[in-house]
Amino acid sequence: MLKRRIIEHDIAIDDIEQYGRRMNIRLEGISFQEGETNDDLETKVVTELAKVGVSIETRDIIRLHRSSKAKQKNGSTTRQCIMKLANWRAQERFAGFNKKARQMESTEEVKCIRVNNDLTKRRLTLLDSARNQISSHLSKTFSEDELKHLSDSQNVFAYSNINSELRMRVRGKVIKFNTLPELAAAMLDAFPTDH
């Protein structure tokens, strides 16, 4: 009983922290150079977003800063950043952003940035766990090439929606999860024969 109340309390605190991040987004794949200024960063971000059809202006950005160590990949250096947006209208411009970026990459062979919600550590850990479990289950059934072309009736994936709520799409059906037991139940629904 006490353990359950502690877990409920922790989730309630996490919900409050996540609410405070509701206008933040994380941008992955933004090029990085030593000595860049905030103006340099803002220019890069606005330019990269415009390539994928998202028009963001200076007035749409409350705060923008780097948030992780630099990464080297394919000869380029990138570093994640967090952007706090001024309003919901600006945030809504990012609907479907990653899908558009993937489509651009497949047709134009241009590497695009990715946009993610600024999740709390608890939610990010839970989402990563869901994705790892799903990947493990799917790789037992499908080849690497087949995984790239799964139909909606075969696919299972985990994501966070625009409100940073965790969801699992199981062959077209959406299941909510916010705790380890809810994740376990969603996994059982997604892969009943594997359990």
Stated pTM of the model: 0.80
- Cβ atoms within 10 Å, residue 54: 18
Contacts of 42 (CB under 8 A, 6+ apart): 58, 61, 64
For domain 22-117, give its CATH number from 3.30.420, 3.40.1130, 3.30.70, 2.60.40.
3.30.70
Q: What is the pLDDT of residue 25?
A: 94
Q: What is the pLDDT of residue 195?
A: 54
In angstroms, the CA 166 to CA 36 distance is 35
Contacts of 37 (CB under 8 A, 6+ apart): none
Please list the residues that pair with 71 across neighbouring strands: 78
Low-confidence ranges of the chain (pLDDT < 70): 109, 195
In angstroms, the CA 93 to CA 88 distance is 9
Q: What is the pLDDT of residue 161?
A: 87
Confirm if 18 and 32 have CB atoms less than 8 A apart: no
Domain definitions of the chain by residue range: 22-117, 121-194
Q: What is the pLDDT of residue 96?
A: 84
Q: For 145-167, what is each residue's pLDDT tens digit?
A: 888 777 777 889 999 988 899 99
